[in-house]
Amino acid sequence: MYIKKWPKGAMIITATILLWLKTYIVYKTSFDIKIENWTQEIILFINPLSFLLIVFGISLFLNVKKQKRYLLTSSFLLSVTLFANVLFYRFFNDYLTIPVLFQTSNLNDLGSSFHELVKFSDAFYFTDFFVLLFLFKGKANVFTNFQASKQERKIYFLLACAIGFFNLGLAEMERPQLLTRTFDREMLVKNIGAFNYQLYDVFLQSKSSAQRAMADGSELVEINNYINANYQQPNQDLFGIAKGKNIILISMESMQNFVINETVNGQEITPFLNQFIKESYYFDNFYHQTGQGKTSDSEFIIENSLYPLSRGAVFFTHSGNKYSATPEILHNRGYYTASMHANNKTFWNRDIMYDSLGYERFYSLEDYQVNDTNSVGWGLKDVDFFDQSMRHLTEMPQPFYVKMITLTNHFPFELDEQSQSIAPYNSEDKTVNNYFLTVRYTDEAIKRFVQQLKVNGLYENSIIILYGDHYGISENHNKAMGEFLGVEITPFESAQLQRVPLIIHIPGQTGKTISTVSGQIDVKPTLLHLLGIETKGNIEFGTDLFSKEDKDFTVLRDGSIITKDYLYTKDTCYRKDTGEPAERINCEPYLEKAKTGLNYSDKIINGDLLRFNQGASQSNLNPK
């Protein structure tokens, strides 16, 4: 049978159109990209085109036999890249970056989570590849073989570049200084495209790698001036009130603040925490500030009072840096410092990073008895984790600083039926339904642990700090969350959902709720001041939460800003009292401060600047 051949060049055009249209469909169906006007829609539609034309256009330099092989290989690899971003987005509501790709040691622990993410319909992401393969093979081959001339190649690439510059020009008109907003990956993908963003990320990674080699420490003077200008005096009524006491820091996996004092099916979700906050300091306007490093980012922020990086996890990318973290400071003052987490010690590169933070001991998976009976989901159940950890605690020299990381309340929120103490929420979203079950389980585990502290004589001589590490329910579940909360999940509400609990229990102190706007970056100076350790002169970006100089300001890693009266996110300023958009001018005074703080913190990490600051605050580090 005679098959009419398509015009020359049709191979490249077909490959480009197939992947271009598929990418646009993925934008609209798999990513939650907010479109506000027709210009943004046009930008979103055209942004893959120039990249695809250039990549597939390389085949014009190959001989006829190699052209099809190159086009098929490129189509497949780009489809894999796109699909990988889709899977990552389903899990983290974020886009892949180069540093994340090097976190391969985490993959072994993600099995149950990815099993929940992959769907049968995901075969769609490779449809264009199989169509192309069909058209290239056997009797279905409709393409005319041709070798492009030098002039044809020149015209082709000029056209591809022209489309690229047109795209970038439209994007800059819509969002000025676009490429300086490296912390806002959604905005970059929306404007320059998923593939161009991956290229831009390679550039950013190269830039980051070069910063340490070129750093000389001179930037510390400017950074120190900024930090000293924002220093807030400690509350003298509380300064040193917990001197010499044990510190028990509990990281509550995926615990968001909306569950506190809330019910599901008429039952309290966190009955113990609801009671515990009545005899503790409870911060109800406290936000997580993590980026792609999630739990490891929260550890980094809490213990260093530095912001995490916008790309990847500091625990992987800069584990060899010099830090002045809380464990090191307290170790130098006679504390025994340890971290407890019943997970593989290499997960998030903790076995390496903990040395840099000053931990003496890491109680990891090998220090716990884990079997099929006492584990679920990601590993050892929280009740068993605390039970077994108690034996380690009672053997430690005092005073000690111990960080404990829970695990059960982790996506996909699995829990065996006999461990469930409340009925699941009833919605069409399994993730949201199960979330309340595992939160309730963790609450019960913490209750048992506090009781054990009392039985073992540790309770009265210990500060207990409980905090949520990051969100548990991502924006991918806004519909069910909106049903539960009784509100539409707008960008304003989504930012508010980044609040996590912070509970500080100090023996002998009465309970109090403090509504100062704050973040994880404020925990380190707060704790050190409670222990009577002055922090002025230290390089840290947080402030004492008990200071009488209320700051009512915090910035999230994605650039969102929260103040007492306003919230800025997704390029929009909102009134806190109504949740309605406000004039941008109301948020502008805080934008530069937020950008400066994030940039300075990035410089410290990328340049490893604290290695030049060895003696700057030595008086604060040595034992008295």
Catalytic positions: 295
Burial class (CB in 10 A: 0-12, 13-18, 19+), 231: middle
In the sheet with 566-569, reading across from the earlier edge strand, the strands are: 553-555, 561-563, 566-569, 572-575
Is residue 136 within 8 A of residue 68, CB to CB? The reply is yes
| Beta pairing class for 462-468 and 502-505 | antiparallel
Q: How many CB atoms lie within 10 A of CB 507?
A: 14
- Burial code of 308-336, b = ≥16 C-beta within 10 A, e = fewer? bbbbbbbbbbbbebebbbbbbbbbbbebb
Is residue 469 within 8 A of residue 407, CB to CB? The reply is no
Tell me the three state secondary structure of residue 247: strand
Burial class (CB in 10 A: 0-12, 13-18, 19+), 288: buried
Please tell me what DSSP assigns to residue 143: B
Tell me the three state secondary structure of residue 550: coil
- Burial code of 565-575, b = ≥16 C-beta within 10 A, e = fewer? ebbbbbebbbe
| Beta pairing class for 561-563 and 553-555 | antiparallel
Tell me the three state secondary structure of residue 127: helix
CA gap 412, 112 in Å, rounded:
7
Tokens of 302: 């809490």
Cα distances from 8 to residues 11, 13, 27, 147, 499, in angstroms, run 8, 10, 31, 9, 58
Strand partners, 340: 363, 404
CA gap 53, 30 in Å, rounded:
23
Residues 6 or more apart whose CB falls under 8 angstroms from that of 17 comprise none
CA gap 249, 354 in Å, rounded:
15
CA gap 374, 53 in Å, rounded:
54
What region does 136 belong to: left with phi over 0, alpha with psi -120 to 50, or beta? alpha
Q: Which residue has the tokens 């060049």?
A: 9
Burial class (CB in 10 A: 0-12, 13-18, 19+), 497: buried
Which stretch of DSSP H or E encloses residue 299? helix 294-304
Q: How many CB atoms lie within 10 A of CB 345?
A: 18
CA gap 502, 252 in Å, rounded:
10
Among the residues of 137-280, which ranges form H helices? 150-174, 185-192, 194-214, 219-229, 271-276
CA gap 380, 374 in Å, rounded:
6
